A and B are shown apart, each in its own frame.
Chain A
């Protein structure tokens, strides 16, 4: 099998939340067994594992998977910041596409409450991190710039949290199941001006998984979701030559590559899961994905275009703002959500008739570059 296409055969996730007492292996078992069952496979059918985790101890992935029988195979762990899970997905897909393996587990896990009480600590070896530059500050910088350059309002940013928390009411696996109002979002504690607490994703413990194999090769090909394309890249230098906020170009460049490889344009896509670690992040990302023009992201969310019931819903799962953001697990939870959407299994948050979906994840934390990694993948239900 070379180049004839790849598909998602099955997906699974744990619940998302602060669940320190469960520990990594039990979260992993929930996600992986669900994905294997969904694919109709045994653990012994898996040829290789590509996994994403960021803060995990050495050996995290093998420690999580051995007791459910995933042994004697190559296990490759990838760290790509927030995009670690989708980077694992990208490599898993590529390994099937080129014929290196046939049935591959893409897996992601993070047990963040074991490492942090609140925000992720700045990275001391980084030029910005060494100055105490925690992740919310970079999005605070983007929000300040967007207010100045494009007149994005605090209310428009808050509307992202309102929408995604509303969407999560239909997602039993999300961490937050309570709607919020614009007033509540803006009235919550200031974290990094002008970003308030309810505009920041929570930390979480969770795992997520997908089984990937040749298109048409699973036990029930009608349940497969075709991977039309997947693109992965690091950012350009982010320096004095650009007026774009951090992370804009990397998403635009990766999306352009993914759309071209899939032979689709953004208008064709029915549903998106995107990286809304902070509200302004979704506004920037919807622009960079081409759903609207540069500077129009605030008005886009206000218009309802990206709400459930709108023309192109974004984050029907409730996104990172509702699930929380266990870095390694996030990307594969996004993949699982789009797979469920395309198979008509998303219950109260279903986008009616969704046939084409896209996932975007972007990871940062390195000074001077427009993102450590971004993955955009285009998925299609053809059955």
Chain B
């Protein structure tokens, strides 16, 4: 993980990646929460996929989260230099997202606590370990 960027990068409209934003100095995940059933998502669609409500409300989540699982990808993929560490993170009170991990090239143990930290040089969301 060569460099961590802490100011929001320019983002193309069709960029499908989870979108982070800085609020009062904290990096948060943007998305929506269903006003009826409370289901959180990293996107803001017109209907809730769980209850069908039209009442999705814009929301932010984090900055803390818990690792569901993690791996280090060590094969080349276009536009990125291996190895890099990835994790599925259950953002507190929010959705599960994929993020890059700032730190050594080691998979995080499931259950590890992480915090949303910023962006990779490619604009990917980045987390780093924050606790046990």
Instruction: Tell me if chain B binds chain A.
Output: yes
Q: Is A346 an interface residue (CB 8 A)?
A: no
Contacting pair A239 B96 (CB below 8 A): yes
Interface flag for A352 (CB, 8 Å): no
Which of A131, A137, A195, A238 counts the most chain B CB atoms within 10 A?
A: A131
Bitwise interface map of A from 170 to 200 toward B, beta carbon under 8 Å scored 1, else 0? 0000000000000000000111111100000
A144-B107, A237-B49 are known contacts. Are A192 and B94 too (CB-CB below 8 A)? no
Contacts of B96 in A (CB 8 A): 238-240
Closest chain-B Cβ to A294's Cβ sits at a distance in Å of: 16
A121/B77 contact (C-beta < 8 A), A144-B110, A145-B110, A240-B96 known = yes
Contacts of B132 in A (CB 8 A): none
Q: Which of B1-9, B20-28, B52-60, B67-75 contacts A (4 or more CB under 8 A)?
A: B67-75
Query: What is the CA–CA distance of A189 and B75 in the complex, to the nearest angstrom?
Result: 10
How many residues does chain A have at the interface if contact means C-beta atoms less than 8 Å apart? 38
With A137-B71, A137-B73: A132-B84 Cβ-Cβ less than 8 Å: yes
A137 touching B110 by the CB < 8 A rule? no
Q: Which of A8-16, A122-130, A329-337 lies at the binding interface?
A: A122-130
Interface residues of B in 1-39 (CB under 8 A from A): 14-18
Residues of A within 8 A of B99 (CB): 131
How many B residues, CB 8 Å from partner? 42
Known: A132-B84, A137-B86, A149-B110. A125 touches B16 (CB 8 A): yes
Is B15 within 8 A of A130, CB to CB? yes
Docked Cα-Cα span, A145 to B80, in Å, equals 25
What are 26 A-B residue pairs whose CB atoms fall within 8 Å in the complex? A122-B77, A126-B16, A127-B98, A133-B73, A134-B75, A136-B73, A137-B86, A141-B71, A141-B86, A142-B69, A145-B68, A145-B110, A148-B69, A190-B72, A190-B74, A191-B74, A192-B71, A192-B74, A193-B74, A193-B107, A194-B71, A239-B96, A240-B90, A240-B94, A240-B95, A367-B98
Chain A residues in contact with chain B, CB under 8 A? Answer: 118-119, 121-122, 125-134, 136-137, 140-145, 148-149, 189-195, 237-240, 243, 245, 367
14 further interface pairs, Cβ-Cβ under 8 Å (given A118-B76, A239-B95)? A119-B75, A122-B77, A127-B16, A131-B98, A131-B99, A133-B86, A134-B77, A137-B73, A141-B88, A143-B71, A145-B68, A192-B74, A194-B71, A194-B107
